[in-house]
Homo-oligomer: A and B are copies of this chain.
Amino acid sequence: MSRLSEIQERIDKKIANVVVFGMGYIGLPTALFYAEKGLNVTGLDTNADLVSDLKNGITHMEEEGLDSLASQNLPRIRLITSYEEIEKADVCVLCLPSPIDKEKKPVLRFLENSIAELGRRLKKGCLVLIESTVPVGTTERLATLFAEESRLKLGNDFWFAHCPERVLPGKVVAELETNHRLAGGVTSQSTKLATAFLSSVFNAELVHPTSARVSEAAKLAENSYRDVNVAFANELARICAELGIDVTEVIQLANLHPRVDILRPGIGVGGYCLPKDGWLLVQSIKDGTFVPRLITAARSVNDEMPAYVFSRVQELDLEALSLKPIVGLLGLSFKPNVSDTRNSPSVQLVHILLAAGMEVIVFDPYVERDYGAKRAESLDELLDACEVVILGVGHDMLVRDLVEKDLSQKVFIDPNNSMPDLKNRVKKYIGLSI
């Protein structure tokens, strides 16, 4: 039996040893999902504290449905911290970070280091899947690196593919089940094997074979599309502010048009993916050739939003309003109802307010860190201390509580338009436009 038919059979019979690398926001739900579907799953993370917590059933993630998925399936996963124990892996799934540095260049060393470690240890006949979002061409380069480190031969001893995750933070568990998946092999046999593996856990109709480069580009295009569309909403909000009209009404009326679907403007774009994926797409192109202007403009429009919200705060004449110069900022995560603060525009606003010498008090029911500000222990404590309040992120929980409060003496800044009917309930309202 050839190595190809051997691994094909192990995949089809669901007896392949699957190792998921990285037990983070994507790796953990993925590993749990695979375990639920009956695969033999090992989860590897070099962060010993994280793995130790996982062994005790602690996940550190706010994800709808994750707790129940974890309580069922975490015990079925072998959790390890060292590459020493992965020799028997048939399928390796890398869910590792691929951030950008300060010059917006991709940082691929997490993937490269892991591939080098794998290359030195994996047996012949394995399938390596990259789930991370990476610049176009990266999976091919990682496959070459793997071949060099392992001295194994692509297409004979191992197969290699890009299979991006495409889930929405907060809805990861539900979307793992329902979203389409790409199987982007660096060779056609790799595509076939990756398709077989994904089809063994996902609905086969949701699995789409393609090339690694197209898979990488499709994933980057998805997030760049979102980023550009949020940037359009944000730019429109700034234009409406200049024109003294309500951007919410403008968008609502524009969206009556059958071919128009403008997103909601807000305090900016955060999270792990959107702020970097436009750059990963742009940086996929060799320097000195074509320079994409729209995607880069979108990035700067969105990056500027926290500073823009700050400029609206600055326009307040607090003395004339007889208000204390203390700003309360509610909500620190990058989007509602999650604890994730990665690249959070709300946190960036905290930094901007502090750098301007303002006194800042923060409260987020999901976030314990204070980011250099004072941290209130409750919504009431913050409202008691602050007459200027910014709703950086409208967690459902916060909005529900705020609706019940007396805000009539507050200057209330709601850049995401999260609060219903706020204008007539506050001393002064500041939205994104009027």
Contacts and interface: CB of A to CB of B under 8 A. Distances in A.
A245 B258 CA distance: 32
A297 to B, nearest CB: 4
A229 B290 CA distance: 19
Nearest to A258: B179
A245 B213 contact: yes
Nearest to A208: B253
A214 B246 contact: yes
Interface of A: 136-137, 166, 168, 175, 178-180, 182, 208, 210-211, 213-215, 217-219, 221-222, 224-226, 228-229, 231-232, 235-236, 238-246, 249-251, 253-254, 256-262, 281-282, 284-286, 289-290, 292-295, 297-298, 300-301
A136 B293 contact: no
Contacts of A294: 228, 231-232, 235, 294, 297-298, 301
B250 A218 contact: yes
Which 8 pairs across A and B sit closest by C-beta, in order of nearness? A180-B256, A218-B253, A297-B297, A221-B254, A218-B254, A293-B297, A222-B254, A217-B250
Given A215-B253, A218-B249, A225-B262, 13 more contacts: A136-B243, A179-B257, A208-B256, A221-B236, A222-B257, A225-B254, A225-B261, A226-B260, A228-B228, A238-B292, A239-B284, A241-B290, A294-B297
B226 A259 contact: yes
A129 to B, nearest CB: 17
A282 to B, nearest CB: 8
B285 A214 contact: no
B286 A245 contact: no
Contacts of A231: 294
Contacts of A285: 239, 242-243
Contacts of A262: 221, 225
Contacts of A225: 232, 254, 260-262
A245 B292 contact: no
A222 B284 contact: no
Contacts of A217: 239-240, 243, 245, 250
23 contacts: A136-B245, A137-B243, A168-B259, A180-B253, A210-B249, A210-B253, A213-B243, A214-B245, A217-B240, A221-B250, A221-B254, A221-B262, A222-B257, A222-B260, A225-B254, A235-B292, A235-B293, A239-B282, A242-B285, A242-B290, A243-B284, A293-B301, A294-B294
Contacts of A241: 290
A217 B219 CA distance: 33
Contacts of A236: 221, 224
B281 A211 contact: no
Nearest to A302: B294
B245 A166 contact: no
A282 B228 CA distance: 17
A191 to B, nearest CB: 13
Contacts of A178: 258
B235 A182 contact: no
A334 B89 CA distance: 56
B290 A238 contact: yes
A346 to B, nearest CB: 22
Contact of A214 (B222, B253, B295): B253
A254 B225 CA distance: 9
Contacts of A226: 259-260
Contacts of A258: 175, 178-179
Contacts of A254: 218-219, 221-222, 225
